[in-house]
Each structure stands twice: as C-alpha cells, then as structure tokens.
Amino acid sequence: MTAVNTLSAGGKTPWHVWLVGVVAVLFNAIGVFDFVMSMTQGEAYMASAGMTPDQIAHYRQMPAWMTGVWAIGVFGAFGASVLVLLRRKLAFGVFAVSLAAFLVSLLYTYALTDGGKVMGQQMAITSAVIAALLAFFTWYAWAMGKRGVLR
C-alpha cells in the first residue's frame, strides 16, 4: 500500500509534519512579532533591536506598498505554517505567495534602493537564511500535498 493510500485510509500523520510545522510556526512568529513591533513601537523598537539610525531611516522611508508586501510575507508565512499543522494543502499556495513577497522585498532592498549597503552584510546573511527556509517550507508543503499528507 502506498503512502497516499495509507494516509487516505486513516493512517498516522508522519512525525516530521509536526516537527516542520512547529519549527515553521515558531520561526515565522518571529517575523510577525518583528512586523507588529516595528509598526507599533517604530523607531524605539528598531533601535532596541540594534538597528543603526541609517537602517531605521531606510525602513521609515519605505513606501506603503512595501509595507504591504512585508505584511503579506510575514503573515502569509505564519498562516501557511499553521495550515501545515492543520494538514491543509492550501499551505503550499500560501507559502508560495509569502516567498514571492519576500523576494519582492529583496528586489526592493537590493535593486531598487541602496538598502543592501545600508543594511549591511549581516542582513544579507539573514535574508539568505530566511529565503532558504521559506523555499524549504514551500517545497515541503508541496511535497506533503503530493503525498496526500496535506488535504
């Protein structure tokens, strides 16, 4: 019997779904926290997080559409993580939209503005880690959907 048939016949959810789902929720909760604190506490929060005045200015000068892209990215990733735990196939599409939003934010930061220079090498490394994790979570949701684990 295949994995799809086993799962559709009431088989157990693979252990890694819970592991990846919990890790994804915890990781993406950091993004939601950062967004909410940046929007509500503004410069005080950013300074407390170790950002320089130039970095804070870069964030404060972002156009409204970029704030929307940022929100779609972080809330989408968090929502998709919850969907993985709920074993919903929709997780793949939501992760894909979140990843696309993050890539747009990278385009804005590194191609449309001098944000790459302002944010520095540490942010570039952090962005690469975030992109890799979002790509993994997106692939994982796709793979689990194909196996019938997410329905």
**Residue 8 pLDDT > 90:** no
Task: Work out the average pLDDT over 111-140.
Answer: 95
What is the per-residue pLDDT for 6? Answer: 43
Average pLDDT, the chain: 93
What is the per-residue pLDDT for 11? Answer: 65
Please state, in angstroms and rounded to a whole number, the distance separating the CA atoms of residues 149 and 18.
11
Please state, in angstroms and rounded to a whole number, the distance separating the CA atoms of residues 60 and 54.
10
Task: Work out the average pLDDT over 24-45.
Answer: 96
For 54-90, the pLDDT digits (tens) are: 999 999 999 999 999 999 999 999 999 999 999 999 9
DSSP, residue by residue, 87-129 = T-THHHHHHHHHHHHHHHHHHIIIIISSHHHHHHHHHHHHHHH
